[in-house]
């Protein structure tokens, strides 16, 4: 597989921490797949694929670490980023779903938009729950609405929509309506709660995990999850929630670059 | 028909062994490879200290194979104990090879002492890591004297079978293998990646790997690895784990005939994913059936002029 060094054709600042980058290339990725994005002299990191058309794809980059900060600060329209992929197993829309609920937070929102795009094409009814710390940090609300989704918003500080978490909105929703499948991408503790709620309500659920990656295509072993050893880059990143819940590390810990286990509050597990 | 191999007194259910550096960070991952049909596994090389490795890009494929500069990342030998215990509990019938490295002989010996206490069936010495004891920082495996010194020092601290993993980046591999054997090596693993090599992105106008250079494996390595194993087989009596560019069953049989008793499988995962192990063992089985062999041992070294074809009796 080669690296495609593609020019960025558009940059949209959704909020001070999040920008959407557009590339003119027919990626033909499935919703939930990702690409490895190379910022020369800095790093190469996995990014979920967002909106796609016949000849374009978009990724959403959240300013989290050295690489994403360098991209935000240095890349202008016309500059190139290295794109390797698409990789991984995406969301499964093959079953006879009539109504789905999407639960997205922060940098988990682009793949939720990608699923919504595909699901809307199939005529599936969609409720999209999006969450953020505050109103200004909500991402893609307009885009979800334009696809015909029912959009439910939650903010930690109550500046828009429900004051609290997306999982609280999901609980309320499941109390009132039926859904065929819940799909989620965002902070792992949120996804863990979503997976448990889906299990309790006996609803299909798919979660999109994120782990530190190196090769990105299933051979180095950096992103394997305990206890089956499945690879997030190749066997995931999207997993059936039942499968994810079989893993003792889901919602509990992940691994650093050296392979050391770190719990989700940042502390070493050793 | 028998595909199991007894290697240094250890029973491998089939001749495929996961090579070091592939899928070997966690015990769970190693166990997943066994679930997909490999006979034994080699864990990722461990130093004394925790190492994050290099920034990405660290691994790339290209039409001839794979280039990598992952950077020998690892938790460090002490913290990794947990992963060995997880594997040993999940896969008691599939041998576990622990791989060790050191920046100098003193560190190598300290790591070996700790690895000796782990539930590993065998210890593999990664002699392709740079050695700061050498005035030019050359890897142990590039010099017969350093290989001998390193092997001798490690031999003192463990009774477990030891395989010395050699580098193809030397014209003296047969001699180097001999020196390892003379100091008590029980086996040779041949070979590590060749190079270092490089790939350049013409639009970024830069080398692609963050480390700029990396080890080359996969299909391009195969003829080199075969010749190295062929040379080593002529120079030592101890058995060989042959590895380097085995991408399918035919390549595997070539490697057995060159002189390998076991097959290190790595880059094949890039071409066939988890189906690689079964693909290879099935082809070996079918070949043996077609050609009238009863035991996989009979294929070992058959490409040598003085080999006796067991079917002649």
Task: Respond yes or no on whether the N-terminal peptide bond of residue B196 is cis (omega within 30° of 0).
Answer: yes
Q: What is the pLDDT of residues A3-53, one digit of tens each?
A: 999 999 999 999 999 999 999 999 999 999 999 999 999 999 999 999 999
**Residue B59 and residue A227: Cβ atoms within 8 Å?**
no
**Cβ contacts of B204 on chain A, cutoff 8 Å:** 5, 38, 40, 80, 82
**Residue A84 and residue B57: Cβ atoms within 8 Å?**
yes
**Cβ contacts of A259 on chain B, cutoff 8 Å:** 25-26, 44, 73-75, 80
**Cβ contacts of B28 on chain A, cutoff 8 Å:** 224-229
Catalytic residue among B33, B91, B129, B142: B129
Query: Hey, which residues 27-46 in chain A have their CB within 8 Å of chain B?
Result: 36, 38, 40-45
- For residue B129, indicate whether it is catalytic: yes
Q: Are A234 and A217 in contact (CB under 8 A)?
A: yes
Largest CA distance in chain A: 51
Band of residue B77 on the pLDDT scale cut at 50, 70, 90? very high
CB pairs under 8 A between A and B: 129
∠ Cα B11 B13 B15 (to 5°): 95
The span from the CA of A217 to the CA of B20, in Å, is 17
Beta-carbon count within 10 A of A204 CB = 17
Task: Label residue A237 exposed, middle or buried (CB < 10 Å: 0-12, 13-18, 19+).
Answer: buried
Distances, alpha carbon B83 to alpha carbons A81, B89, B109, in Å: 36, 10, 21
Q: Is the CB of A231 inside 8 Å of chain B's CB atoms? A: yes
**Residue B204 and residue A260: Cβ atoms within 8 Å?**
no
Q: What is the pLDDT of residue B34?
A: 98
Domain A4-87: CATH superfamily is: Translation factors (2.40.30.10)
**Position B313 pLDDT exceeds 60:** no
Nearest to A224 among B21, B29, B208 (CB): B29
**Which residues 6+ apart lie within 8 Å of A133 measured at CB?**
A155, A156, A157
**Whose CA is closest to B269, among B25, B33, B14, B54?**
B33
**Cβ contacts of B82 on chain A, cutoff 8 Å:** 270
**Residue B201 and residue A5: Cβ atoms within 8 Å?**
yes
Band of residue B130 on the pLDDT scale cut at 50, 70, 90? low
Tokens of B86: 């997880």
Q: Do domains A4-87 and A91-208 have the same CATH topology?
A: no
Q: Are A116 and A145 in contact (CB under 8 A)?
A: no
Q: Considering only alpha carbons, which residue of chain A is nearest residue B210? A: A41
Q: What is the pLDDT of residues B260-310, one digit of tens each?
A: 999 999 999 999 999 999 999 999 999 999 999 999 999 999 999 887 776
- Locus of tokens 């063992």: B281
Shortest distance between the Cα of A44 and any Cα of chain B, in A, equals 5
The span from the CA of A162 to the CA of A171, in Å, is 12
**Position B215 pLDDT exceeds 90:** yes
Fold exhibited by the domain A91-208: Rossmann fold (3.40.50)
Tokens of A235: 């066997």
Shortest distance between the Cα of A269 and any Cα of chain B, in A, equals 10
Q: What is the pLDDT of residue A267?
A: 59
Q: What is the pLDDT of residue B133?
A: 61
Q: Best of A36, A67, A219 to disrupt the B interface by mutation (most B CBs within 10 Å)?
A: A219
**Residue A258 and residue B28: Cβ atoms within 8 Å?**
no
- How high is the mean pLDDT of chain B? 95
Q: What would the mean pLDDT of B138-162 be, rounded to a whole number?
A: 94
Lowest mean pLDDT among B25-29, B124-128, B140-144, B306-310: B306-310
The span from the CA of A222 to the CA of A231, in Å, is 8
- The dihedral built from the CA positions of residue A223, B270, B52 and B199, taken in this order, carries a sign that is negative
Residue ranges of chain A with pLDDT lower than 50?
Answer: none
Facing residues of A154 across strands? A131, A162
**Residue B21 and residue A220: Cβ atoms within 8 Å?**
yes
Band of residue B199 on the pLDDT scale cut at 50, 70, 90? very high
The span from the CA of B27 to the CA of A71, in Å, is 35
The span from the CA of B243 to the CA of B165, in Å, is 10
Q: What is the pLDDT of residues A177-205, one digit of tens each?
A: 999 999 999 999 999 999 999 999 999 99
The span from the CA of B265 to the CA of B255, in Å, is 11
The span from the CA of A166 to the CA of A194, in Å, is 9
Q: What would the mean pLDDT of B201-228 be, rounded to a whole number?
A: 97
Q: What is the pLDDT of residue A265?
A: 75
**Cβ contacts of A82 on chain B, cutoff 8 Å:** 57, 201, 204, 208
**Cβ contacts of A246 on chain B, cutoff 8 Å:** none
Nearest to A221 among B22, B50, B61 (CB): B22
**Residue A226 and residue B28: Cβ atoms within 8 Å?**
yes
What residue segments make up the domains of chain A, in order of their start? 4-87, 91-208, 210-270
Q: Is the CB of A70 inside 8 Å of chain B's CB atoms? A: no
**Cβ contacts of A3 on chain B, cutoff 8 Å:** 57, 60, 201, 208
What DSSP string runs through A208-241? Answer: E-----SSSSSSS-TTB-TTT--BTTTT-BEEEH
- Locus of tokens 């490089």: B198
**Residue B53 and residue A214: Cβ atoms within 8 Å?**
yes
Q: What is the pLDDT of residues B45-63, one digit of tens each?
A: 999 999 999 999 999 999 9
Shortest distance between the Cα of A261 and any Cα of chain B, in A, equals 9
A268 or B147: which leads in pLDDT = B147
**Cβ contacts of B31 on chain A, cutoff 8 Å:** 229
Nearest to A229 among B22, B31, B80 (CB): B31
Instruction: For chain A, give the number of residues.
Output: 270
Burial B91-107 (b: 16+ CB within 10 A, else e): beebbbbbbbbbbebeb
**Position B220 pLDDT exceeds 90:** yes
Q: Considering only alpha carbons, which residue of chain B is nearest residue A36? A: B57
Q: What is the pLDDT of residue A266?
A: 63
The domains of chain B, with CATH numbers, are 5-312 (3.20.20.70)
Q: What is the pLDDT of residue B137?
A: 67
Q: Is the CB of A230 inside 8 Å of chain B's CB atoms? A: yes
Q: What would the mean pLDDT of B101-108 be, rounded to a whole number?
A: 94
Q: Are A157 and A134 in contact (CB under 8 A)?
A: yes
The span from the CA of A239 to the CA of A209, in Å, is 8
The span from the CA of A13 to the CA of A21, in Å, is 9
């Amino acid at each position: 597989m080669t690296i495609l060094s593609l020019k960025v054709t558009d940059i949209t600042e959704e909020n001070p921490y999040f920008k959407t980058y557009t590339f003119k290339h027919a990626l033909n990725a499935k919703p939930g797949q990702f690409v490895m994005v190379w910022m020369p002299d800095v790093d190469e990191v996995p990014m979920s694929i967002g909106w796609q058309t016949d000849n374009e794809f978009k990724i959403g980059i959240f300013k989290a670490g050295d690489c994403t900060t360098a991209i935000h600060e240095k890349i202008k329209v016309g500059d190139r980023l290295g794109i390797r992929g698409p990789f991984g197993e995406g969301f499964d829309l093959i079953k006879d779903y009539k109504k789905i609920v999407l639960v997205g937070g922060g940098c988990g929102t682009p793949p939720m938009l990608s699923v919504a795009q595909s699901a809307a094409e199939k005529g599936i009814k969609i409720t999209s729950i999006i969450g953020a710390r505050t109103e200004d940090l909500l991402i893609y609300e307009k885009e979800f609405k334009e696809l015909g989704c029912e959009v439910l918003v939650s903010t930690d500080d109550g500046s828009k929509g429900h004051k609290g978490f997306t999982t609280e909105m999901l609980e309320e929703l499941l109390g009132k309506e039926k859904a065929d499948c819940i799909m989620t991408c965002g902070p792992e503790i949120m996804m863990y709660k979503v997976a448990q709620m889906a299990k309790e309500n006996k609803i299909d659920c798919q979660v999109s995990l994120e782990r530190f990656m190196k090769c990105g295509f299933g051979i180095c072993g950096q992103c394997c999850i305990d206890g089956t050893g499945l690879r997030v880059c190749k066997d995931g990143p999207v997993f059936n929630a039942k499968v994810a819940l079989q893993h003792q590390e889901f919602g509990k810990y992940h691994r650093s670059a050296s392979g050391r286990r770190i719990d989700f509050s940042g502390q070493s597990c050793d | 028909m028998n595909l199991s191999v007894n290697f240094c007194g250890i029973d491998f259910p089939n001749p495929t062994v996961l090579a070091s550096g592939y899928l070997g960070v966690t015990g769970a991952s190693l166990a997943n490879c066994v679930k997909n049909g490999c006979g034994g596994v080699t864990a990722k090389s461990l130093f004394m200290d925790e190492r994050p490795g290099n920034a990405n890009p660290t691994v790339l494929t290209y039409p001839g194979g794979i280039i990598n500069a992952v950077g020998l990342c690892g938790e460090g030998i002490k913290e990794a104990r947990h992963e060995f215990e997880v594997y040993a509990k999940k896969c008691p019938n599939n041998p576990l090879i622990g791989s060790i490295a050191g920046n100098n002989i003193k560190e190598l010996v300290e790591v070996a002492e700790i690895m000796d206490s782990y539930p590993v069936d065998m210890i593999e010495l990664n002699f392709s890591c740079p050695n700061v004891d050498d005035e030019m920082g050359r890897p142990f495996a590039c010099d017969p004297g350093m290989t001998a010194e390193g092997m001798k020092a490690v031999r003192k601290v463990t009774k477990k079978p030891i395989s010395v993993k050699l580098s193809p980046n030397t014209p003296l591999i047969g001699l180097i293998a001999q020196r390892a054997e003379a100091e008590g090596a029980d086996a040779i693993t041949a070979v590590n990646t060749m190079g270092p090599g490089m790939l350049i992105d013409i639009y970024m106008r830069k080398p692609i790997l963050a480390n700029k250079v990396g080890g080359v494996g996969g299909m391009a390595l195969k003829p080199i690895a075969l010749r190295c194993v062929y040379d080593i087989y002529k120079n030592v009596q101890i058995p060989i784990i042959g590895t380097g560019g085995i991408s399918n069953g035919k390549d595997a049989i070539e490697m057995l005939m060159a002189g390998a008793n076991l097959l290190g499988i790595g880059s094949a995962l890039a071409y066939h994913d988890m189906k690689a192990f079964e693909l290879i063992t099935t082809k070996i089985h079918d070949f043996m059936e077609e050609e009238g062999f009863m035991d996989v041992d009979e294929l070992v070294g058959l490409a040598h002029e003085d080999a006796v074809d067991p079917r002649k009796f």
